[in-house]
A and B are shown apart, each in its own frame.
Chain A
Amino acid sequence: MTLDDELRRALEPKAPPDGFADRVLARIASSTAAGPGSRSPHVRSRLIRALAVAAALVLTAAATSYYRYQLVQLEGERAAREVRVALTIASEKLALAARRVNRNDDTKVSIREAP
């Protein structure tokens, strides 16, 4: 069996603990249920509309700065990933050089800076 096959076997999906789906539905039900002492439907809908307009205004004002923040976040994360990859490659190639040198020379030669 190849490593690919072994990995597929080792990483087969694992079922969550019993009752997971019930717990998900319970959370959904509790988050959508109306609380006690709700207002009348008409007042509620006007209030909801007013709140929605206010929220939209606030969100619009915040959207631009958040978008900019997200861009910086994405760029930073990308740069961090690239740094990791770059240093990994550099480290691997150093090790390759060491292997080649140690293979070619009976006395171990260290990778060092020139005096």
Chain B
Amino acid sequence: MLRVAQPSPGEDDDRLLAQAVAGDAAAFGCLVRQHEAMVFSLARRFLGDDSAAEDLAQEVFLALHQHLADLRTAAHVKFWLRRVTANRCIDCRRRRSWQLERSGEHTREPAIAPVTADFLLETRLRALVDRLPARARLVVVLRYQEDLDPAEIGALLGMPVNTVKSHLRRSLAALRAQLPAEAS
């Protein structure tokens, strides 16, 4: 079994990619470690389930291994991973007909209870984001987890920028309305 090398500080990301493309398994392992949190979190936020998210994330990295030769730069790898993860999330959801995470049945988050000051705001926010419609949720996660701007999100999802902005606007309005007044 191949072991994952710890990425060394100051590693040149493009050189790492070149090594992985050349067949260096340890370099590919470094790539996996660099991006695993992003891919897993996107999947986890969308699917609401750790094991489903890990399955999907593994599939994404397997696909990355198969398409490595098509990617030119480290930035391209990141874009590619985000796009493939987003598309697979949507496919997975459609294929397996996941119940909306807002029902709380498939998450390990605490069940959504009436808003009180006792709940940590972050927990409440995550639960509210999980309740958003699928596309809107994906847009919000890409905006606030990945810090992408609407144009980048639109390019990633093949969605008009105005639609992205519309999703963000409505989602934030919905979140604000459901937060306790003192927290929002």
Contact = CB atoms under 8 A, between A and B. Distances in A.
A and B touch in the complex (CB under 8 A): yes
Contact of A8 (B61, B147, B166): B147
B82 to A, nearest CB: 12
Nearest to B64: A24
A20 interface: yes
B141 A11 contact: yes
Interface stretch (B10-18, B69-77, B110-118, B121-129): B121-129
A28 B140 CA distance: 32
A84 B136 CA distance: 11
Contacts of A88: 170
A59 to B, nearest CB: 16
Interface stretch (B33-41, B95-103, B148-156): B33-41
Contact of B1 (A7, A16, A26, A81): A26
B135 interface: yes
B22 interface: no
B67 interface: no
Contact of B58 (A9, A12, A27): A27
Nearest to A22: B4
B2 interface: yes
Contacts of B58: 20, 23-24, 27
A22 B143 CA distance: 29
Q: How large is the interface on A (under 10, 10 to 19, 20 to 34, 35 or more residues)?
A: 20 to 34
B145 interface: yes
A13 interface: yes
A16 B172 CA distance: 27
Contacts of B33: 21
Interface in A18-38: 20-29, 31
Nearest to A82: B163
B40 A11 contact: no
A10 B37 contact: no
A15 B140 CA distance: 19
Contacts of B170: 88
A15 to B, nearest CB: 5
Contacts of A16: 36-37, 40, 53-54, 57
Contacts of B144: 4, 7-8, 10-11
Contacts of B141: 11
Given A16-B36, A24-B36, 11 more contacts: A6-B121, A7-B125, A8-B145, A10-B129, A13-B38, A13-B145, A17-B54, A20-B36, A21-B33, A24-B58, A25-B2
21 contacts: A3-B184, A7-B140, A7-B143, A8-B145, A10-B121, A11-B41, A11-B126, A11-B145, A13-B37, A14-B44, A15-B36, A16-B54, A17-B54, A20-B54, A20-B57, A21-B33, A22-B3, A24-B58, A28-B25, A29-B1, A85-B163
